[in-house]
Structure 1
Amino acid sequence: MFAMNEINQNVHLLPNKTLSPIFGHNYQNEMGDCSGTMYLLFLKQGSPLNYICGKAYKLMTIIGGLTSHNSKQMPHILNTYKMPQLSYASFDPALSDKVQFPSLYRMIPSESPQYVGIIQLLQHFGWTWIGLVVSDDDTGEILLRTLIPRMHQSNICTAFKEIIPAVKNLWDKTTETQRLLEEISSVLSSTKTEVILAHGASRSMVGLQRILILQEREMKPIERVWIVTAQWDFSSVYDSGAFALKSFNGTLSFTLHTRDMGEYEEFLRTLNPNRSRLYLIHWFWSNVFMCSFPKSNFYQMEGGTSICTGEEDLGSLSEIVFEMRMSGQSYSIYNAVYSVAHALHAMFSSRSKQKAMGDGSASNLLNVYPWQLHSFLKNVRFNNTAGEEIYFDKNGALAAGYDITNTVTFPNRSLHRVRVGKIDPQAPEGKKFSINGSAIVWNHKYNQSLPQSTCVESCQPGHSRILQQGKQICCYDCPQCSEGMISNKTDADHCKKCPEDQHPNKDHDHCISKQIVYLSYGEPLGIILTSFALSLSLITLVVMWIFIQNQETPIVKANNWNITCTLLISLLLCFLCSFLFIGQPGKITCLLRQTVFGIVFSLAVSCVLAKTLTVVLAFMATKPGNRMRKWVGKRLAVSVIILCTLIQTGICALWLATSPSFPEFDMHSQTTQIIVQCNEGSAPMFYTVLGYMGLLAITSFTVAFFARKLPDTFNEAKLITFSMLVFCSVWISFVPTYLSTKGKYMVAVEIFSILASSAGLLGCIFFPKFYIIVLRPELNTRDQLIRKKNDNI
C-alpha cells in the first residue's frame, strides 16, 4: 500500500494510471495454495475458470507468497496463464529453475552469498567449533548439504547437528515431539561450543523457540552466540512473552537487505484501521493492542474490555511485536511493486511509440495481457527512492546481498537491532564481506569480550597443529616447531623453514638473522692467538739477531750457520703465516693459507732433516777410509732443503691448478651462525700436503733418534729428536681435533698447531744454544769445544 501510494502520486511513473491491490490469503497446504491463487486470479468472482467479466481493471501480476511452499505451488497455476509472480521471501533454490518456473521472479538474492557470508563471519572471529540447528524440511537439508562441505574446506567443524521437528504450535504436547525437543534441549544446554547456527523458516523453527522459552522459564537460558539465517525472522512474534529474551541477546542474524525510510514510518503512524483497506488489519490491530472493534463479530478479544479506536500508536508497540522500520521482507515487497510499475511504464511507453507510428491497436491501453509484461520485467533496471539500483540476474533473482544485524535485548522485553555488516556480491573482490566488530554488543555472558569457540585452545605462534587421532580436524595438539622451523601465525598447519641466512628465535615464532662468524682479531681468542704469533715472531727475530751477532763463535760455526739461518727464517715465516688464518677469509687469503703453510713448514722440516743428515755424515766421515767424506759439505744440505721444498711446492701448485681453495658461507653447520670459512677445494690434496710434511718429520725424527748417541760437543741429534718428537705429537693430535671442530675453532686448532709445532722446533733446537751464548758465554770457546769432544771420545 505504501509503495502504491507513492507510485500513484508520481506524475512521472505511470501517469494517468492507478495501481490498485487485491489481497488474498494462502494456507499451509496444497488446497489452500490452489484456492487462494484461483481466488486472486479471477478477481474474487468465485474462480470461474478462464472467465473474467465486469471489471474495468486487469490483474497483471501477483506478489507472493511468504513461504517456499506457497511460492512453489502457485506457479503451477500461474504458468498456465503466463502470469508473472514476484516472490518476496522464498529462498528455495529450486525456484531459480526457469524451465520449471518461467514466470517466477525472486525479490530476494540467491542463497549462495549467504553461505559464503556465514563462512567469512566464522573465519573473521576465529570460530571453528560450532553447532547446527536446522529445520526438518528441504530448507534444512539444503543447508546441511551445501554449507557443511564449505565449512570443512575452511577447517570449521560441527560440534553437533540437530534437526528441529515440525510442531503445530508453540505448545504442541505430542508425546514424540516432546521427547525429541527434550533431547535437543539437553544437547543445547550441555554443549561447550559458544556459537550455534540456526536455520529454517519461521514456522519450522517454532520448536526451537519453545526450547529456548522453557529454558529461560527454568532460569537456565541457553546463552550463546546465536547466528540466525535470513530464512528465520526470529524476532517476529505477536506475543512478546513468546520470545527468548536472554538467549537471543547479542544474536547475529543475516537479514534481507533493507534501507531505512522516514516516509514509511510516517505512513505507519498515520494508519487507521477504520480508514485503511489493508488486508486483515482489523485482526492484526485487535491482537497487538488487545482490544475489540465494537461493530465486528470477527475481531472481538475474549475477555477484552478495551475498544479499538483506530488511533492507537503502532510506535508504542515493542519491537518484538512490531517494527516501525522497513524490514527486509517489506523492502522486498516495496521493490517488487516498483519493479512491476517500471515494467508497466516501459510497456506503455513502447505502446505509445507504436501509436505514434500509426498502429491503432496500440491506442487501447486496456488491451494488454500479463504475459506481455515478462520481457519488460526481465530487463527492468531502475533506482528506487532509497537510491539503490534494482534489477534481476540471469536466474530471475534480485541482484542484491544481505545485511548482518546485531540484536540487543533489554529487561523491559524490548529489543534494538543494529546493522553491523553486509554481504554485497556486486562489490569488488575483497569488499564483498564487511563487518564492524566494534559495533557488536555480545550476550552479557561474555562481558563484552570476544567469544571464543574452538574445539581446543588455539596453537600459538611457534607451534603447529597435529590432528588428534579419531577426532575432527578442529581438534588437535600443538607441539612446538622442531629445530630450524618456525610458525608465525596462530593455528599454523605446519612449521616452515627459515631462510638459509636466518634462524628461529627462542620461541620459534619468527626468524632472526644468523650471526656471521669467523676468527677475528677483535675477539678474545683472536687476540690471544695474535699475541702468541707476534711474541714468537719477535722471539725468533731476537734469536736470529743474537745468532747473527755471534756467528763467528764456535757454537754457531759448529752447527752449520747457513742451515741455521735458513731454519730460523722458515720458523719466522711459520709464525707469520698464522696471520693468514685470522680475520675474514677472502679469495687471496684462502688461496695462500694452506699452500704457504705447507711450503714454509716443509722448508723448516727440510732444514731440520738437512742438519740431522749433516751431523750423521760428519761423524761417519771421521772414520778412516769411509766413502761418506765426499758427501760432507754445503751442497748436500742445500740439495736436501731444495729438493724437499720443491716437492711440496709442486704438490701445492698442482692443488692450486686443479681445485684451489675459495671462501664460502657455511649456513648449515651451526643453527644460529653463518660460518665464513675457506673451502679447501680438494680434501685429498690438503691431506697430501699434511702427509708429505708428516713424512719429512718422521724421517727427520728417525734419523735424529738413531744419531742421538753420536759423540759431539754440541750433539744436535738429541735436540732434533726432542724437537721432532714435539712436532710429530702436535700434528698427530691435530688431525682428530681438527676434524671434530667446526667454524672458527677449527681454524684456531690449526693456528695453535702451527704455533706449537714451530715453537717446539725453535725451543728444542735453539734454546740450549741461546742459553750458552747469552748466559754462559764461557762455554762458547774453541778450547771448551775440543775438551768436550775429547771427553766424548
Structure 2
Amino acid sequence: MMFTVEEINRDNVLLPGVSLGYKVYNGCGNENLIRAAIEAVNGDDSQGCSGQTLAVLGHSSSGVSDDINTILSSLSVPQLSHLSTCACLSDKTRYPTFFRTVPSDRFQSTALVQLMKYFDWRWVGIVFSYGTYADIATANFVKEAEEEGICIEYRLVYSRVRQEKFDVIVEALRKSSSKVVLMFMSSFYAKSFLLKMEAFNITGKQWVGSESWITQTELASPERKHILQGAMGFALPRASIPGLDEFLLSLKPSDEPQSVIIKALWENFFGCSFSPSNSSTMCTGMEDLQTVSNHYTDVTHFTAENNVYKAVYSVAYALHALLQCQNGLNPTTGKPCVNKDEVQPKLVFEHLKYVNFTTKNGAKVFFDVNGDSVARYDLVNWQMKEDGSVEIITVGQYDDSLTAEKKFNLKKVAKIVWRDNTDEVPRSVCREPCPPGTRKALNKNKPVCCFDCFECPEGTISNQTNSLDCLICPPEFWPNEKRDQCILKPTEYLSYNEVMGALLTGFGVIGVFLSLLISTIFFTHKETPIVRANNSELSFLLLFSLKLCFLCSLTFIGQPTKWSCMLRHTAFSITFVLCISCVLGKTLMVLIAFRATLPGSNVMKWFGPVQQRLSVLSSTLIQVVICILWLTIDPPFPNLNMQYYKDRIILECALGSAVGFWAVLGYIGLLAVLCFIFAFLARKLPDSFNEAKLITFSMLIFCSVWITFIPAYVSSPGKFTVAMEIFAILASSFGLLISIFVPKCYIIIFRPEQNCKKHIMGKIPPRTL
C-alpha cells in the first residue's frame, strides 16, 4: 500500500496536483479495527494528519469486513478489501459501500463446480470450518453443484476444540464411497485440521482445496504426503508488480523509526536486537534483506499484494474521475464540478462504481453492480517430493470474463499428479452412468446421483448414456442384443438353402423321378393286361397330374413374389383336382365295370372313354373357375408379417380372400371324399386284382393327411406354415403314387406270370379289408 501510494504521487498524469495520504492500523485485535472505522466516520485525527478519510482498505477476513462495513456504510464511506472473499458481502442491501479486488467466493464455488463437472466427479464429500467464509462458500457450492447434477455424500463441519466432530469426519472419510473431498477452510483452520489428520492413514482420497490454503506451502510435511499429494484447487493468479521487489528489499528501520512492527520483523529476520541483550547481537539497521530467505523476501510473484495494488489504484482513479471538469460539469456523472477541497467519501463511493482501468502489470480493473471485480483463478496442483516439500504447479485457469465454454481451461501440456501419486484421474460417482441399452430410474430414497439402471424392455432401446426413457423401435426394426440401436429385422421365408427347404425340394424331385419311372414302366408295358385293365388313359393322366403335384410343391419354396404367390396356390389346387378327378374316374370305372358284367346291363355305354374325359375335364374346370374368381376378386400377395414374431419378419404369401382359399381346399376335399366312398363301396368286388382296394387305401391316406393339415396349418408359425403345406402336398402325392401304382409295377417287374388276363379276371374268395 505504501509503495503504491508513493508510485501514484510520483505520477504526473494521474491526480496531478493532488497527493494521497494514508493511515495504517494494526489488524491484530478487533478494538483497533473498530477504532479505525470510527475515526474514518468521525474524522478524528489523533495522529495529527490533515484531511478526511475518503476510503478504507481492508480487511482480509470476511467476518471483520462485515463488522467494518456495518459502521462505514451508514455514511457512505467506501471500503475496498483485497482478501475478503465471502459471497455474502456482495449483498448491496447489507453492504452498500463494499468493494473488493479479490474474486467473490461465488465465483470460486462456480469454478469448483466446473472442475468437478470437467473430471466427472459427481459424488463428493465436503469438510469445512466454522466462520462466515467457509459457511457461505460451502452453501453456495452445494447449491450450484446440485444444479449441475453433482451430489454431496456428506457435509461435515470441523471444530478445533470439539474432538467428537473431528472423530465424525474421520469415520466418514473411512466409510465413504466418494473419492473426492472438498476442504473449504481458512489457512488457520486447515493447518489445525491437517495436523490432526497426520495420525490417520486415510488414503485414496482426492483432496480439493479452497483458495485460502491451497497455495500455503508451509502446510506441507512428510507426514501429510499421503493426504496432500495431488491436492488441487483454485488460487488467486500470481503477478509481478514492477518496482515492488526493489522497494521491499530496500526497507530499513530508519524509514519508519516509529514502527514497532518493522523493528520486530528486523529482529526476527536477522536474529539481532535493537535493545542490549546477552542472547543476541545488536541490530545496526543497515543489514541487507537480500541476504536472508523468507516469505517477505520471496518477491518473484505476488498474489494478495497485487489485489492491494489494484485497490489503491481504484481509489486514485475514482478521485481522478471525480476531480475532472469540462464546461463546469463532471464528464462521468454530468453533475457540477467538485474541487479537491469539496471531496467527500460519498462522492468517492459514487465514482468507484465507474472505474475501469488497466494497471502497469496488465491487470484490468472494474467493478460489477455488486462491487465485485472480475474473477480469475489459477488451477494449481500439489506435487510433493520425498522430503515433504511441495511444488505447486499451475495446470489450468478459470476466467469468468470469458464465454461459458471458455471459462475453464486445462493446460494440455501440464502434468497432473493425482491422489496417492498416480497418473490416473480419480473416478468419483455414486453410481456409474447407465450405459446405452438401459434406462435411468431415480430412487426417491437416495440422492439423484445414486440412481438405478434397468435394462430396456423387449422391443425398446436407449442409444444414450443415462437415458431416462427407452424408445420403441419402428415396426420393421428390432433392438440388437445390447438394446442400444434398432436394426432391421431379419426376413424369414422357406429357402432352398436351408436344410428344411433342401429336404422338401429333394422329396419333390424324388416324387417327380418316381412318377417318370412308373410312367416309363407303364408305357413300355402298355399292352399288358394289368395296364390295359386299369384304364391306361386315366392312369397316364393321373401320373401326369402327380408329376405336376410334385412340381407345384417347389413353387412354395423361395422368396414369395406377387406371381409366385398366385401361382403356388392356383397350381396346387388345379393339379390336385386333376389328380383326384382321375382317381374318381378310375373308381367309377371299377364300379361300372362290375355292373356291366351283370346280365342285361348296358351301363358301359353311358360311361365310355368320352364320358371319362368329360368328367375329368368338367371337374377340373370347376376348380379353374374358382381360382379365376379368387385371383380376380382378392388374389394372394406377398406380405410382411410382423405380428407373429417380435424379432423377425415373416415374408409370406397372404391368402387375399380366405374364402377363395378354403373354397379350393373344400372342393378338393369334396372330390376326395366322393372318391373314398365309391372306392370303399367297390372294395369287396370279387376280382383277383381289385383296384378299388388300392384306391380306398390311397384316399384314406389322402384324407388323413389333409385333415391333419388344417389344424397344423393354422397353428404353425412362419415358414413352418409353408413347410406343412408342402409336406401335405408331397405326402398325399406319394400316398396316391405308391398305393395305386407301386403294386402294379411290382407285378409287372417281379411277378410277370401274374400279368395275364386269366389271373386278373380270376375270382377270389371274399375277404374283409
Closer, same or farther: CA 760–315 of 1 in aligned 2, 3 Å: farther
Judge conservation of contact 2:274–2:282 (CA < 8 Å) in 1. no
Q: 1 CA distance for matches of 2:401 and 2:578? A: 86
Alignment of 1:223-238 (within 5 A): 224-230=205-211, 232-236=212-216
User: What's the CA shift for 1:163?
Assistant: 1.6
Q: 1 CA distance for matches of 2:61 and 2:606? A: 123
Judge conservation of contact 1:84–1:104 (CA < 8 Å) in 2. yes
* Counterpart among 380, 385, 394 of residue 405 in structure 1: 380
Closer, same or farther: CA 726–9 of 1 in aligned 2, 3 Å: farther
Aligned with 1:451: secondary structure?
coil
Q: Which is worse superposed, 278-287 or 335-344?
A: 278-287
Aligned with 2:735: secondary structure?
helix
Q: 1 CA distance for matches of 2:223 and 2:328? A: 56
Closer, same or farther: CA 107–53 of 1 in aligned 2, 3 Å: closer
After superposition, the C-alpha distances for 1:49-91 in whole angstroms (9 at most, x for unaligned) are xxx9834xx6543333323223333333333433333333334
User: What's the CA shift for 1:45?
Assistant: 0.8
Q: 1 CA distance for matches of 2:76 and 2:444? A: 58
Alignment of 1:714-753 (within 5 A): 714-735=689-710, 737-738=712-713, 741-753=716-728
Q: Which is worse superposed, 673-682 or 124-133?
A: 673-682
2:70 matched residue in structure 1: 76
Q: 1 CA distance for matches of 2:712 and 2:631? A: 24
Alignment of 1:302-313 (within 5 A): 311-313=288-290
Closer, same or farther: CA 790–524 of 1 in aligned 2, 3 Å: closer
2:57 matched residue in structure 1: 63
Query: RMSD in angstroms over aligned alpha carbons?
Result: 4.8
Closer, same or farther: CA 105–611 of 1 in aligned 2, 3 Å: farther
User: What's the CA shift for 1:585?
Assistant: 2.7
Alignment of 1:577-616 (within 5 A): 577-616=552-591
TM-score by length of 1: 0.79
After superposition, the C-alpha distances for 1:676-726 in whole angstroms (9 at most, x for unaligned) are 444445667655654554444344334323332234565332222222233
Q: 2 CA distance for matches of 1:760 and 1:603? A: 16
Sequence identity of aligned pairs in percent? 34
Closer, same or farther: CA 145–101 of 1 in aligned 2, 3 Å: closer
Q: 2 CA distance for matches of 1:5 and 1:688? A: 115
Judge conservation of contact 1:269–1:313 (CA < 8 Å) in 2. no
Alignment of 1:157-556 (within 5 A): 157-165=151-159, 167=160, 177-189=162-174, 191=176, 193-202=178-187, 206=189, 209-216=191-198, 218=199, 220=201, 224-230=205-211, 232-236=212-216, 244=224, 246-256=226-236, 258-261=237-240, 263=242, 266-267=245-246, 270=249, 272=251, 274=253, 282=262, 285=265, 289=269, 291=271, 294=274, 311-313=288-290, 316-317=293-294, 324-327=300-303, 329-349=304-324, 351=326, 354=329, 362=337, 364-365=339-340, 367-374=342-349, 376-385=351-360, 387=362, 389-435=364-410, 439=414, 441-442=416-417, 445=420, 447-455=422-430, 472=447, 474=449, 501-505=477-481, 515-544=490-519, 547=522, 554-556=529-531
Closer, same or farther: CA 361–199 of 1 in aligned 2, 3 Å: closer
Q: 2 CA distance for matches of 1:728 and 1:117? A: 86
Q: 2 CA distance for matches of 1:28 and 1:691? A: 112
* Counterpart among 730, 743, 759 of residue 755 in structure 1: 730
Q: What amino acid is aligned across from residue 198 of structure 1 in structure 2? A: M
Closer, same or farther: CA 335–558 of 1 in aligned 2, 3 Å: farther
After superposition, the C-alpha distances for 1:520-547 in whole angstroms (9 at most, x for unaligned) are 3334443333333333334434444555
Q: Is residue 103 from structure 1 mapped to residue 88 from structure 2 by the alignment?
A: no
User: What's the CA shift for 1:741?
Assistant: 4.8
User: What's the CA shift for 1:238?
Assistant: 7.1
Aligned with 2:697: secondary structure?
helix
Judge conservation of contact 1:86–1:105 (CA < 8 Å) in 2. yes
Closer, same or farther: CA 84–651 of 1 in aligned 2, 3 Å: farther
Judge conservation of contact 1:82–1:371 (CA < 8 Å) in 2. yes
Q: 1 CA distance for matches of 2:349 and 2:632? A: 90
Q: 2 CA distance for matches of 1:682 and 1:637? A: 31
Q: What amino acid is aligned across from residue 54 of structure 1 in structure 2? A: S
After superposition, the C-alpha distances for 1:281-338 in whole angstroms (9 at most, x for unaligned) are 627845974745526x9xx9x977795865335993379x9784332x4444444344
User: What's the CA shift for 1:768?
Assistant: 3.1
Count of equivalent residues: 760
Q: Is residue 132 from structure 1 mapped to residue 126 from structure 2 by the alignment?
A: yes
Q: 2 CA distance for matches of 1:702 and 1:265? A: 125
In structure 1, stretches of 5+ residues that fail to align are 168-173
Q: What amino acid is aligned across from residue 84 of structure 1 in structure 2? A: P
Q: 2 CA distance for matches of 1:545 and 1:80? A: 126
Q: What amino acid is aligned across from residue 82 of structure 2 in structure 1? A: Y
Judge conservation of contact 2:124–2:152 (CA < 8 Å) in 1. yes
Q: What amino acid is aligned across from residue 723 of structure 2 in structure 1? A: A
Q: 2 CA distance for matches of 1:488 and 1:270? A: 65
Q: Is residue 704 from structure 1 mapped to residue 698 from structure 2 by the alignment?
A: no
After superposition, the C-alpha distances for 1:608-662 in whole angstroms (9 at most, x for unaligned) are 3343344334434544577966752444664466346635752674477347432
Judge conservation of contact 1:617–1:631 (CA < 8 Å) in 2. no
After superposition, the C-alpha distances for 1:713-768 in whole angstroms (9 at most, x for unaligned) are 65332222222233334334444555565444443343333323222222222333
Judge conservation of contact 1:223–1:248 (CA < 8 Å) in 2. no
Q: 1 CA distance for matches of 2:148 and 2:110? A: 11
* Counterpart among 604, 629, 646 of residue 622 in structure 2: 646
Closer, same or farther: CA 406–524 of 1 in aligned 2, 3 Å: same
Q: Which is worse superposed, 455-464 or 408-417?
A: 455-464
1:23 matched residue in structure 2: 24
Q: Is residue 85 from structure 1 mapped to residue 79 from structure 2 by the alignment?
A: yes
Aligned with 1:247: secondary structure?
helix
Q: 1 CA distance for matches of 2:545 and 2:505? A: 18
Q: What amino acid is aligned across from residue 90 of structure 1 in structure 2? A: S
Judge conservation of contact 1:4–1:337 (CA < 8 Å) in 2. yes
Judge conservation of contact 1:659–1:682 (CA < 8 Å) in 2. yes
Judge conservation of contact 1:485–1:504 (CA < 8 Å) in 2. no
Q: 1 CA distance for matches of 2:633 and 2:378? A: 77
Q: 2 CA distance for matches of 1:240 and 1:790? A: 122
Judge conservation of contact 2:323–2:338 (CA < 8 Å) in 1. no
After superposition, the C-alpha distances for 1:167-189 in whole angstroms (9 at most, x for unaligned) are 5xxxxxx5xx3443344344445
Judge conservation of contact 2:383–2:390 (CA < 8 Å) in 1. yes
Q: 1 CA distance for matches of 2:427 and 2:379? A: 19
Q: 2 CA distance for matches of 1:194 and 1:616? A: 99
TM-score by length of 2: 0.81
* Counterpart among 738, 762, 769 of residue 788 in structure 1: 762
1:54 matched residue in structure 2: 50
In structure 2, stretches of 5+ residues that fail to align are none
User: What's the CA shift for 1:156?
Assistant: 4.3
Judge conservation of contact 1:455–1:474 (CA < 8 Å) in 2. yes
Closer, same or farther: CA 534–222 of 1 in aligned 2, 3 Å: closer
Q: What amino acid is aligned across from residue 788 of structure 1 in structure 2? A: G
